[in-house]
A and B are shown apart, each in its own frame.
Chain A
Amino acid sequence: MAKPNPTDLKYTKEHEWAKDNGDGTVTMGITDHAQELLTDIVFVELPAVGKQVEQGKQLAVVESVKSVSDVYASVSGEVIEVNTDLENQPELINADAFTGGWICKIKMTNPADLNALMDAAAYDALIKE
């Protein structure tokens, strides 16, 4: 069973989570539900630090043994930090999607982007469908 979706995070339809750090930056990753669907994650292609990304556009790639899946930026902005632990331990996403399995931090160009995302209740409802 998937872990509960934390109520302090925001969510996308594509199963990313975003945490508002309160300083104009967002930490993001994929949800526990997403890692359950992907199962054994064996490779993560991280974005380059400094890359400009656009909300809803391809940001990173997560691969399981069988599949290759795009991860989309939850907000627009500049990638300011990436979770390099994932280079050698991609399975951190399986173990801990919402914390240790974070993918990157983005400095937002438009904080209102967060308003377009779902809260935990709405995301709960989406994945129950």
Chain B
Amino acid sequence: MKETPLYARHAALGATIVDFGGWAMPVQYTNVIEEHRTTREKAGLFDICHMGEFTVKGSQVFDFLQWVLSRNIADQEVGQVKLSVLTNEQGGIVDDLTVYKFADDHYMLVTNAGTKDKDLAWLQKAQADKGFDVTIEDISDATGKLDFQGPAAESVLQQITRDDLKPVKFYGFIETEVLGMPAIVSRSGYTGEDGFEIYADSTRIGEIWDEILRLGTAAGVAPIGLGARDTLRLECGMNLYGHEINDEITPLEGRYGWVTDLGKDFIGVEVLRKQKEAGVPRKLVGFEMVGRGIAREHYPISKDGQPIGMVSSGTFAPTVNKAIGMAHLKPEYCAEGTEIDIEIRGKHVAAKVVKLPFYKRS
């Protein structure tokens, strides 16, 4: 398994380490519920060095990105981050990713860890096919990434950041210095809390990690594993690649219609236009358990004995204090309040479709 630059720190903290997409990652340091609450109530620090970063530069960067991304980025300004998806010819999702704009001819793409190599090959092929004048560089190994999320994050991070963080808007970013080293800081994340994603030299990212934990001690800041990262994102109804979305699920099926502009040309758009017209065969919804039990990924869902879909993610959600999940269902069963049955170890347990997200920061 690959190790991030922070691996020795996780081991020293006594974290439980698991294989996540080929990376040895901390799933929890204490326990998931405690880490989840720390993030919502104080702030949590996450090692996200495993994720991929590519720079894309050149005279035709804009045209290239418009061709590979479902989202129309024409209105994206320098200093803004946009969530988008890469689509394949069948309209399926190659990956969901964030797009950072540094200049008209310079962007950065931040990808999932497990899909990074696939994404790079996909982007290189798309470039070669059409001969776009762009240079794609994989800077993942040189780039360290920390997510620092929760109400206490800004005041702690500000102490070691050169520029004022207050003016950085949600899904905005700055090029600044953190602990005196060049860094990119965006106000964004995957937890539903206010917080930041921090990018800096992977050989020195550990210094930032250590300093945030030291400065944050009094505020209750703690390191958070992937277990709580998953419950935090699920409470917010956010997708996880390989679960809610994959190469065979389209953005229209996967609650990514809002980042899909069928009015522009991009890879797979014809398929998506047809799907939009004909109607999607399945939709992604949120559900909560009514009967006793916790639904887990791949559990079958039925209605009146007929199969209607499958759970994509399910867990016990610490903040909403319920067993919840997301599922792909036939569209006629997606209305809020629809009663469904989830098969748990051979027994049908009642659940109902509910509105997403389960949790919204007040």
Contact = CB atoms under 8 A, between A and B. Distances in A.
Interface of A: 39-40, 42-43, 45, 61, 63-66, 68, 87
B33 A65 contact: yes
Given A63-B294, A66-B27, A43 B316 contact: yes
Contact of B315 (A39, A45, A65, A87): A65
15 contacts: A39-B31, A40-B32, A42-B316, A42-B323, A43-B293, A43-B294, A43-B316, A43-B323, A45-B293, A63-B294, A64-B32, A65-B32, A65-B316, A66-B32, A87-B292
Nearest to A43: B294
Nearest to A63: B294
Interface string B312-356: 000110100001000000000000000000000100000000000
Interface string B20-32: 0000000110111
B345 A45 contact: yes
A88 to B, nearest CB: 10
A125 B230 CA distance: 35
A42 B317 CA distance: 10
Given A65-B33, A66-B28, 14 more contacts: A42-B33, A42-B294, A42-B323, A43-B293, A45-B293, A61-B345, A63-B294, A65-B32, A65-B227, A65-B315, A66-B32, A66-B227, A66-B230, A66-B315
Q: What are the nearest 3 A-B pairs in CB distance? A: A39-B31, A42-B316, A65-B32
Contacts of B318: 65
A40 B227 CA distance: 11
Interface string B29-52: 011111000000000000000000
A93 to B, nearest CB: 13
B104 to A, nearest CB: 44
B14 to A, nearest CB: 12
Given A39-B32, A43-B316, A65 B231 contact: yes
A123 to B, nearest CB: 22
B10 interface: no
Most B C-beta atoms less than 10 A away, residue of A45, A64, A65, A87: A65
Give the interface size bracket for B toward A.
10 to 19
A40 B32 CA distance: 7
B145 interface: no
B75 to A, nearest CB: 39
Interface of B: 27-28, 30-34, 227, 230-231, 292-294, 296, 315-316, 318, 323, 345
B33 A68 contact: no
Nearest to A88: B292
Contacts of A40: 31-34
A12 B28 CA distance: 27
Contacts of A68: 294, 296
A63 B27 CA distance: 16
Contacts of A61: 345
A50 to B, nearest CB: 17
Nearest to B36: A65
Nearest to A61: B345
A61 B315 CA distance: 15
Contacts of A64: 32
Contacts of A65: 31-33, 227, 231, 315-316, 318
A102 to B, nearest CB: 19
Contacts of B27: 66
A122 to B, nearest CB: 26
Contacts of B293: 43, 45
Contacts of A42: 33, 294, 316, 323
A38 to B, nearest CB: 9
Nearest to A70: B345
Nearest to B318: A65
Most A C-beta atoms less than 10 A away, residue of B230, B231, B294: B294
A65 B293 CA distance: 12
A129 B28 CA distance: 22
A37 to B, nearest CB: 9
Nearest to B227: A66
Contacts of B31: 39-40, 65
B114 to A, nearest CB: 18
A43 B24 CA distance: 28
Contacts of B292: 43, 87
A45 B292 CA distance: 9
A42 B324 CA distance: 13
Nearest to B344: A45
